[in-house]
Amino acid sequence: MKIFVVGATGRVGQKLIDFLEKQGHIVYAGARSSEKITETETIKPVFFDLHTEPEEMAAKFADAEAVYFVAGSRGKDLLQSDLYGAVKVMQAAESKGIKRYIHLSSAYALEPEQWQREGMASLMDYTIAKFFSDRWLIDNTALEYTILQPGALKETPGSSLIEISETTSGAIPIEDVAVLLGEMLERPATYQKVIKVQAGETPISEALDQL
């Protein structure tokens, strides 16, 4: 499959494009710092700016058949990138006729009643940005979306063991988030779903089989 990854130079994005390449996909690796991406036969760096208009974004998608949004400003540009940038990417995907859309969100982003949980206060503005981008995807698009809501992203080795829960998100290695995102690409059981995840004891493929 031909896949466009928005945010390809981020912590998750780098591991995601590596995983997708190993799975035999062609990856358009979109980032503002696209010069940092090594071009191969199957990974194609693309300059991509979340401040541009949906029409320009759509042109960058070329012949992609699916879009991942794994970009993040890490608190530096929440409204323009994490919120409005995400919405424009959704609009661009729809204008190109791309249906499959996988969106990396954050823990409890759609549950304001949970935002006073321990450790979440410092992330309040980020979580609010994710709330509105998640809601736009659900309420205002016809995309075959999956929204992934992990807890804290850990820079520790992945185990490929996770727990998918209807109620709880928790800490998880970045590598496992990337593999999970890659594995859910062609699984219809993940379409139109919000998936909470944390490190656990179930192999990723098995956890997805149980959805």
Residue 104 has φ and ψ, to the nearest 5°, of -85, 120
Quick one: how far is CA 191 from the chain centroid? 14
Q: What pLDDT sits at residue 186?
A: 96
* CB 169 within 8 Å of CB 151: yes
Q: What pLDDT sits at residue 79?
A: 96
Tell whether the torsion through CA atoms of 200, 4, 47 and 94 is positive or negative.
negative
Q: Write down the mean pLDDT value for the chain.
A: 96
Strand-pair partners of 26: 2
Tell whether the torsion through CA atoms of 74, 80, 81 and 86 is positive or negative.
positive
Read off the pLDDT of residues 106-164 as tens digits, 9 standing for 90 and up. 999 999 999 988 888 889 999 999 999 999 999 999 999 999 999 999 999 999 999 99
Q: What pLDDT sits at residue 119?
A: 82
Residue 53 has pLDDT above 90, yes or no: yes
Is the entire prediction scored with pTM above 0.75? yes
The CA-based angle 70-75-80, given to 5 degrees, is 70
* CB 48 within 8 Å of CB 64: no
Residue 74 has pLDDT above 90, yes or no: no
* CB 204 within 8 Å of CB 183: yes
Residue 86 has pLDDT above 90, yes or no: yes
Average pLDDT over residues 66-75: 94
Read off the pLDDT of residues 91-104 as tens digits, 9 standing for 90 and up. 999 999 999 999 99
Average pLDDT over residues 181-201: 98
The answer for residues whose C-beta is within 8 angstroms of residue 67's C-beta and 6 or more apart is: 3, 4, 5, 6, 61, 89, 93, 98, 100, 101, 102
